[in-house]
């Protein structure tokens, strides 16, 4: 890993989770815990807890742009993670800002499907995501439900094997990103297996599945850890491997937590208790 006098800067562009388990809050925790300085641009405010989301208040597009300009014009952002977005125009604006400032790494976690299976983005916004942001991404990190939405497939017919997982990841790659990390956490298997594909590479990342209900924010946490490691100069493969190890340990550390009455968060700072 490189060393320098100034911290490596990771930027998260996402929605706020008032419960602290996902979204901007999880991103900042994960980036900080894995060694980079976290900046944030908030795209939406949510009223949510461990049991779900009760209200969403989108941040006006002009103010999202103001936040982005304030950071990029002042700081050297090493890597960007994009999470929850609200509408097609905001997505297009973010794409234009990224083209203007050209950070060295862009990770897109397409937050599009709620745990309940409800699609969170309107079709126009999904089209904007596919047309404008995915082609700028070095990596997209969809779960199985999000993959089905991006590909226009049945939400109830997602991959059931590693072979189908790989095939779906390659279909996603055709949307234009440099790489796809398709997360297999929703598959009914003993291990939690993700597959990373690029035009020239295929690599599997597997960890023993942690039996717990405290899984809120795992996708946000994983993508933010990958972003943090990329910001520090690690390769994509090594960043994914280290992030997968990090989220696995965070799940283990929090598996018996009772924080709220629903799906609780992971322990982002488990290493401080060692």
Q: Does residue 178 fall inside a structural domain? A: yes
Domain residues for the domain of 75 are 9-273
Match 């590693």 to its residue by tokens. Answer: 162
In the annotation, is 218 catalytic? Answer: yes
Residue 16: beta bridge partners? 45
The pLDDT tens digits for 112-154 are 866 555 566 778 899 999 999 999 999 999 999 899 989 999 8
Q: Does residue 1 fall inside a structural domain? A: no
Residue 113: per-residue pLDDT: 67
Q: Does residue 177 fall inside a structural domain? A: yes
In the annotation, is 220 catalytic? Answer: yes
Of the residues 34, 43, 141, 215, only one is catalytic, namely: 215
pLDDT tops 60 at residue 1: no
Whole-model pTM: value is: 0.95
Q: Does residue 205 fall inside a structural domain? A: yes
Q: Does residue 91 fall inside a structural domain? A: yes
Distances 169 to 110, 198, 203 between C-alpha atoms, Å: 14, 9, 11
* Residue 4: HSE in the Cβ half-sphere, 13 Å Cα cutoff: 10
In the annotation, is 90 catalytic? Answer: no
Q: What percent of the chain has pLDDT over 90?
A: 78
Q: Does residue 247 fall inside a structural domain? A: yes
Check which CATH number belongs to the domain holding 75 and give it: 3.40.1190.20
Q: Does residue 3 fall inside a structural domain? A: no
In the annotation, is 39 catalytic? Answer: no
- Report the C-alpha gap between 81 and 21 in whole angstroms: 17
Q: Does residue 4 fall inside a structural domain? A: no
In sequence order, which residues have a C-beta less than 8 Å from that of residue 174 and are 6 or more positions away? none
Residue 26: per-residue pLDDT: 97
Of the residues 21, 219, 227, 264, only one is catalytic, namely: 219
The pLDDT tens digits for 47-79 are 999 998 889 999 999 999 999 999 999 999 999
Of the residues 23, 217, 221, 227, only one is catalytic, namely: 217
The pLDDT tens digits for 223-274 are 999 999 999 999 999 999 999 999 999 999 999 999 999 999 999 999 998 6
Please state the domain count of the chain.
1
């Amino acid at each position: 890993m490189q060393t320098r006098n100034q911290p490596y800067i990771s930027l998260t562009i996402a929605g706020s989770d008032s419960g602290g388990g996902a979204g901007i809050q999880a991103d900042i925790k994960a980036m900080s815990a894995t060694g980079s300085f976290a900046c944030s641009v908030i795209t939406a405010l949510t009223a949510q807890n461990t049991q779900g989301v009760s209200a969403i208040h989108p941040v006006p597009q002009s103010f999202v742009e103001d936040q982005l300009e304030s950071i990029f014009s002042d700081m050297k952002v090493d890597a960007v993670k994009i999470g929850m977005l609200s509408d097609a125009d905001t997505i297009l604006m973010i794409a234009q800002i990224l083209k203007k400032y050209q950070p060295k790494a862009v990770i897109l976690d397409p937050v599009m499907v709620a745990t309940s299976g409800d699609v969170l983005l309107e079709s126009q916004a999904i089209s904007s995501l596919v047309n404008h942001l995915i082609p700028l991404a070095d990596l997209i990190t969809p779960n199985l439900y999000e993959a089905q939405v991006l590909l226009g497939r049945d939400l109830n017919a997602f991959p059931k094997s590693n072979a189908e997982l790989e095939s779906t990841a390659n279909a996603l790659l055709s949307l234009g990103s440099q790489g796809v990390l398709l997360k297999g956490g929703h598959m009914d298997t003993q291990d939690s297996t993700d597959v990373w594909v690029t035009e020239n590479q295929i690599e599997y990342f597997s960890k023993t599945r942690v039996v717990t209900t405290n899984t809120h924010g795992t996708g946000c946490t994983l993508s933010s850890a990958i972003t943090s490691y990329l910001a520090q100069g690690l390769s994509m493969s090594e960043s994914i491997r280290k992030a997968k190890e990090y989220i696995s340990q965070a799940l283990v550390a929090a598996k018996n937590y009772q924080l709220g009455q629903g799906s609780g968060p992971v322990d982002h700072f488990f290493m401080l208790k060692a």
